[in-house]
């Protein structure tokens, strides 16, 4: 039987834009449903883990609705300006599912719980540490235009994917029209529905809003306030833009596992020139919130970094997390200890002491 967590988001719904997308802030299991750590363990006894699966971008594009509604999240980059990231509205996802008769209320993650163990692991909402990662990444974004490296981003447990979305947004401005190396963005979430219903739509929104001034097609598609029409022409333009800018988007669902690592590892983008070095940045926000998630995530990032090292490439991982996940058992300190025990270097790059205590750490192999 699966256990449902309600993370009691008191003070949640950071609504700087009046929209209804929630920002998951305080992942404390509410007293009423507080499970024993053993009871909350993932995987759920008798329930198989979702196997690692790759998803074809063209197929995903063909499954989108004709219109999506969005709101804008303003992220203050610690006094160095702001960045604006669009997110598809969750009510719009529910409307789509009801129109498709998939039962919006029945879709795990769109109801009142924030995690339903082994079924839905929290990806529909944006969690606080993902914003912390955006702030850290903003300090080093120029690597996106470094001609000497082939950048590859892998966001694990991406959900709404704010960190990758920010890097994508910056890459649209920073990368030259031609001559740049391939930028590979790998997006992974336990739930394929999250990838289809929020992750991919958020990338399309980001591109459309960035390019609207230069495109009458997009200006028209965005003409209704807070909505984007996903006409076949708009989707074709998105696909063509990615190809022209040499940006590859890849999507993977399923549980972190050796099979998952093999699948992601086999997805190395072609088009890497002989002699060029790849730089892989693995990202994970709020991915270590239980002992099982912490262990599976740690093994996965170390295996991915080892794969890169074996191929002569550089790799690092940035992890944003709460200092403690009350009631569910994960903690940033536990992650740092475990990762160091397994031989990796770990340094703290950001600490958040206001509100729920959080941090961002960078991991690499010696």
Ligand X SMILES: C[S@@+](CC[C@H](N)C(=O)[O-])C[C@H]1O[C@@H](n2cnc3c(N)ncnc32)[C@H](O)[C@@H]1O
**Backbone φ/ψ region at 249: left (φ over 0), alpha (ψ -120 to 50), beta:** beta
Q: Is 255 in the site for ligand X (CB under 6 A)?
A: yes
Q: Is 158 in the site for ligand X (CB under 6 A)?
A: yes
Nearer to ligand X, 221 or 261 (CB): 261
Residue 357 C-beta: closest distance to ligand X, Å: 16
Stretch that binds ligand X, among 85-93, 175-183, 185-193, 238-246 (CB under 6 A): 185-193
Q: Is 4 in the site for ligand X (CB under 6 A)?
A: no
253 beta partners: 53, 189
What whole-number distance in Å separates Cα of residue 263 and Cα of residue 280?
Answer: 16
Stretch that binds ligand X, among 70-78, 101-109, 120-128, 267-275 (CB under 6 A): 120-128
Kindly state the tokens that stand for 48: 């198989």
Burial of 211 from C-beta contacts in 10 A (0-12 / 13-18 / 19+): middle
107 beta partners: none
Stretch that binds ligand X, among 61-69, 93-101, 288-296, 331-339 (CB under 6 A): 288-296
Q: Is 252 in the site for ligand X (CB under 6 A)?
A: no
Residue 349 C-beta: closest distance to ligand X, Å: 17
Closest alpha carbon to 108 in 98, 117, 99? 117
Number of chain positions touching ligand X (CB under 6 A): 22
Q: Is 325 in the site for ligand X (CB under 6 A)?
A: no
Q: Draw the binding track, 227-246, toward ligand X (x: CB under 6 A; -: no contact).
A: --------------------
Q: Which of 21, 25, 164, 191 binds ligand X (CB under 6 A)?
A: 191
Q: Does residue 133 contact residue 285 with C-beta atoms inside 8 Å?
A: yes
Closest alpha carbon to 267 in 355, 153, 168, 143? 153
Q: Is 127 in the site for ligand X (CB under 6 A)?
A: yes
Stretch that binds ligand X, among 81-89, 105-113, 188-196, 356-364 (CB under 6 A): 188-196
Q: Is 286 in the site for ligand X (CB under 6 A)?
A: yes
Q: Is 109 in the site for ligand X (CB under 6 A)?
A: no
Q: Is 190 in the site for ligand X (CB under 6 A)?
A: yes
C-alpha pair distances (Å), 361 with each of 74, 133, 242, 264: 23, 10, 31, 23
Q: Is 331 in the site for ligand X (CB under 6 A)?
A: no
> Taking CA 332 as the corner, what is the angle to CA 295 and CA 139, rounded to the nearest 5 degrees?
115
358 beta partners: 322, 352
Stretch that binds ligand X, among 199-207, 286-294, 303-311, 321-329 (CB under 6 A): 286-294
Closest alpha carbon to 203 in 14, 48, 44, 64? 64
Q: Does residue 228 contact residue 204 with C-beta atoms inside 8 Å?
A: yes
What whole-number distance in Å separates Cα of residue 264 and Cα of residue 154?
Answer: 9
Stretch that binds ligand X, among 58-66, 187-195, 209-217, 349-357 (CB under 6 A): 187-195
Nearer to ligand X, 191 or 202 (CB): 191
Q: Is 296 in the site for ligand X (CB under 6 A)?
A: yes
Q: Which of 89, 92, 121, 352 binds ligand X (CB under 6 A)?
A: 121
Q: How many helices (H) and strands (E) does the chain have?
A: 11, 15
Q: Does residue 119 contact residue 4 with C-beta atoms inside 8 Å?
A: no
Q: Does residue 138 contact residue 77 with C-beta atoms inside 8 Å?
A: yes
Q: Is 117 in the site for ligand X (CB under 6 A)?
A: no
Residue 202 C-beta: closest distance to ligand X, Å: 11
Closest alpha carbon to 318 in 199, 162, 193? 162
Q: Is 166 in the site for ligand X (CB under 6 A)?
A: no
Peptide bond into 43 cis (omega under 30): yes
Q: Is 126 in the site for ligand X (CB under 6 A)?
A: yes
Stretch that binds ligand X, among 103-111, 142-150, 282-290, 330-338 (CB under 6 A): 282-290
Q: Is 359 in the site for ligand X (CB under 6 A)?
A: no
Residues that bind ligand X (CB under 6 A): 121-123, 126-127, 129-130, 157-160, 189-191, 255-256, 285-287, 289, 293, 296
């Amino acid at each position: 039987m699966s256990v449902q967590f309600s993370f009691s988001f008191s003070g949640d719904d950071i609504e700087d834009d009046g929209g209804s997308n929630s920002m998951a802030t305080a992942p404390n299991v509410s007293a009423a449903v507080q499970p024993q750590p053993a009871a909350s363990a993932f995987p759920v006894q008798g329930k198989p883990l979702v196997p690692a699966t790759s998803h074809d971008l063209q197929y995903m594009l063909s499954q989108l609705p004709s219109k999506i509604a969005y709101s804008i999240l303003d992220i203050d980059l610690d006094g160095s300006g702001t960045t604006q990231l669009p997110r598809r509205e969750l009510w719009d996802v529910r409307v789509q599912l009801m129109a498709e008769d998939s039962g919006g209320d029945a879709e795990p993650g769109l109801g009142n719980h924030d995690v339903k163990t082994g079924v839905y692991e929290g990806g529909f909402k944006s969690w606080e540490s993902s914003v912390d990662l955006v702030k850290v990444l903003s300090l080093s974004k120029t690597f996106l235009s470094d001609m000497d490296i082939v950048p590859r981003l892998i966001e694990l447990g991406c959900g709404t994917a704010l960190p990758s979305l920010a890097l994508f947004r910056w890459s649209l401005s920073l990368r030259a029209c031609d001559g740049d190396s391939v930028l590979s963005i790998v997006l992974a979430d336990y739930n394929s529905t999250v990838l289809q219903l929020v992750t991919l739509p958020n990338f399309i929104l980001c591109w459309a809003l960035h390019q609207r001034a230069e495109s009458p097609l997009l200006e028209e598609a965005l003409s209704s306030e807070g909505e984007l029409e996903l006409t076949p022409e708009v989707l074709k333009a998105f696909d063509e833009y990615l190809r022209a800018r040499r940006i590859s988007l890849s999507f993977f669902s399923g549980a972190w596992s050796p099979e998952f690592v093999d699948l992601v590892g086999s997805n190395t983008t072609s088009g890497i020139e002989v002699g060029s070095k790849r730089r892989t940045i693995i990202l994970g926000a709020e991915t270590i919130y239980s002992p099982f998630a912490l262990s599976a995530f740690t093994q996965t990032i170390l295996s991915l970094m080892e794969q890169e090292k074996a191929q002569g490439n550089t790799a690092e991982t940035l992890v944003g997390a709460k200092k403690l996940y009350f009631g569910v058992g994960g903690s940033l300190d536990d992650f740092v200890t475990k990762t160091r025990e397994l031989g990796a270097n770990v340094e703290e790059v950001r600490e958040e002491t206001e509100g729920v205590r959080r941090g961002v750490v960078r991991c690499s192999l010696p």
